[in-house]
Structure 1
C-alpha cells in the first residue's frame, strides 16, 4: 500500500478586524469616584438644611433679554446631583470591569455634577449670579490655559516643562514693565511672550544640548525667575512705581450681538483681548497638533524619536522649536496677571498657578481642548472660593483658600483615571 499525501484544502480568505488592544484594569478611578460621590450624597445632599432654597440669576443687568432667576430646593437638588455623580461612578466601574476604555468626558460629567452639588449646598438661603460665576471662572482660567498649552507644546515633543510657573511670572513682570515704560498696553502684551521665550530657550539649551535632568532644571528655572523678579521688584519697581509699575489693564470688549446670547453671551463674548487670544490659541494649536503634518511630526518625536529620526525628522530641532514656542505661550499667559487682572506687577503674584497649569495639562491628557476643560474646572474652583467668601458661607475661609489646590489633587490623583504621557517625554535624544 502506498501512502498518498493530501495537501490541506485551501481556506477562504477571512477578513481580519483591527487588533484587539487590551485595556489594563485599574480600580483607582472608580474607587475615587465612589468615595467622592458618597461624600456628595451624605454631605451635600442629606447634609443640606431642609426647607431651604438656592437661587441663581441667569442674566446681567446690561442684557436686553432678561431671564428670570432660577430658585431650586437645596436638599432635593443636591441629592439628585449626587445620585447623578454616583451613576457616572457606576458606569465607570462597569467600563473598568469589562476592560473598556474610559473616556475623559465621564470624569468631566462627574466633576460637573459634584461641583454643582457643592454649589447648591454652599449657597443655601442665598442667591448668586450664575453668569458672573461662569464669567469669572473663564477669566481666571485664562493663564492656566496658556500655561497648559505651553506644556502641551513641550511635552508632545518629549521635553518635560516644570518651569511653567517661572515663565508665567517672567511674562507678568515683562508685560508690566514694558507697558509702563512705553505707555502702551499692546507693546507690553508683546513683551510677555518674549520673556517666556527667553526662559524657554534656557530650558531647551540645558535639557536638549547639555542633557540636564529636566525635572531638576525646571525647578531651578522657577527659583531663578522668582529670585530675579523679586530682586528687581524690590530694587526698581517699589522705588519707581509711577514710571515702572503703572501699566493699567485691558478693559473688556463686548462683541455686538453675541454678547446678548442668554447666559453664554456675557460669559464668552464680554472678555478682554487676552481671553480672546486664548480662544484662538486653543483652536489653532488643537488643529495644528492633530490635523497637520507639523503636528504628526511633533507627536512622532514625542512618542518614538528614533523612528522619527529614521524617517528624516531632525528630532532635536523639533524639540528646540516646540520648547521655544511653549515658553512664549506660557509667557503670554503671564500678561494676564498684570495687564488683564491687577494692573500692576506684584511679588510672587502667580502664586503657584503654573503648577495648577501643569496639573491641567495632565488632567487634559496632553490635549489643548482637554487642557481647556481642566483649566475651566480649576478656574471655577478659584472663582467659587472668592464668591462664597463674599456671601458669608459657613465654610471656613481656610478651606475656601485651599479649594483650588484640593480640586487639583483629586483631579490628578484619581478622577481623571489612568493617563499616559508621550512615551519619550523627559528622555534626551542623542542623534
Structure 2
C-alpha cells in the first residue's frame, strides 16, 4: 500500500511540474499588466525545440537551454504587439498559440516516432532521498521539479520583496504613476512577457525530454490553457500556484487510476478540462478586486492618457 501511495504522489508531482513552471511565468506577465494567452503555443515550441536539439546533440541540457531561448524569442512577438503596437492582447495571445502550435507541428513532423537516446532523469538528493516515504516522493524527482519549486519561491520573493518586483506590480496596477517615478513601463512589460516565455518553454521541454523522450504533435494537450486557469486560481501568487499545479497534476493521474474501474476513457480525458472550467467559473463569479487581479491587466498603456 505504501509503495502504491508513493507511486501515485510521485506521478502527481511529475504531472504538475510543467503546470507550475508555466503558471509562474504567466503570473510574472500578468502582474506586469500583460495577459498572455499564447502559453500553449510557446510550450509547444519549447517542447519541439528541446527534442530536436537533444536528438542532434545528445545533450538534453543543451536542448533545455535552446528551448528557453526559443520560447523567449517567440514571446517577443506578443510583447511587441501588446506593448509597442498596443493591440488587443487576447487576439495577440491567441495568434501566438496558433503560430506556436503550427511551428511545432511543422518542425517536429520529421521526428515523430524517433525516441531520444537520453533524457533528463530523476536526480535523487543524497541523504534526503533515503528518508522513508518523504524521501522518494520529494527528493527523488526530476531537476525540473526542483527548478519549478525554487522558481515559485524565488518569483514570489522577487515580486513581494524586491525593487524589481515592485516595479512589475506597479506596471500592472498603475503604469502612469510608475512612469512618473522614472520607470520605463514598456521595458518592464517586455521583460516580463519574455521571461514568461522562457518559463512556458521550459514547461514544454519537460514534456519532451524528461516526462517522456519522444515527440508527438499535440503533446502539450491543452496544458497551456490550464496554466491560464491556474493563474486565476492562485490569485496571481506563485506560492499558491504550487498547490494548484499539483492539485491539477493529481487530476491528470486520476485518469489512469480510474480506467480499470470501467469508466469511459473519454470522460476521464475530460476531467482536467472540466476542473479548468470550474476554476474559471468560480473566478468569474467573484469580485475581481477580491481576486487581487492586476488593475490594468490586458489594458494597453498609452503615455499621457492614463
Q: Normalising by the residue count of structure 2, what TM-score does the alignment of the two structures yield? A: 0.93
2:292 is the alignment partner of 1:424 = no
Rounded to whole Å, the distance in 2 between the matches of 1:252 and 1:181 is 22
2:49 is the alignment partner of 1:174 = yes
Structure 1: gaps spanning 5 or more residues: 1-56, 61-128
Give the structure 2 partner of residue 206 of structure 1. Answer: 81
Deviations 1:339-359 (A, max 9, x none): 111202111110111000111
The 3 A distance-change label for structure 1 pair 201 and 251 is same
Give 1:203-242 correspondences, 5 Å limit. 203-234=78-109, 236-238=110-112
The 3 A distance-change label for structure 1 pair 178 and 302 is same
Q: Secondary structure at the match of 1:318?
A: helix
Rounded to whole Å, the distance in 2 between the matches of 1:256 and 1:183 is 26
2:244 is the alignment partner of 1:369 = no
Q: Secondary structure at the match of 1:378?
A: helix
Quick one: which of 155, 161, 168 aligns to 1:298?
Answer: 168
The 3 A distance-change label for structure 1 pair 159 and 233 is same
More helix by share: 2
* C-alpha RMSD of the superposition: 1.7
Flag as ranges the 4+ runs of structure 1 deviating above 3 A. Answer: none
Q: Normalising by the residue count of structure 1, what TM-score does the alignment of the two structures yield? A: 0.67
**How far has the Cα of 1:133 moved from its partner?**
1.3
Give 1:119-158 correspondences, 5 Å limit. 129-158=4-33
Structure 2: gaps spanning 5 or more residues: none
Deviations 1:275-331 (A, max 9, x none): 111122111111111111111111111101011111211111110111111111111
Rounded to whole Å, the distance in 1 between the matches of 2:148 and 2:53 is 21
Cα pair 1:247 1:344 within 8 Å, conserved? no
Q: Which structure carries more relative contact order (alpha carbon 8 Å, separation 6+)?
A: 2
Give 1:276-295 correspondences, 5 Å limit. 276-295=146-165
Matched length? 299
**How far has the Cα of 1:264 moved from its partner?**
2.4
Rounded to whole Å, the distance in 1 between the matches of 2:199 and 2:117 is 21
Quick one: which of 186, 192, 197 aligns to 1:322?
Answer: 192
2:277 is the alignment partner of 1:403 = no
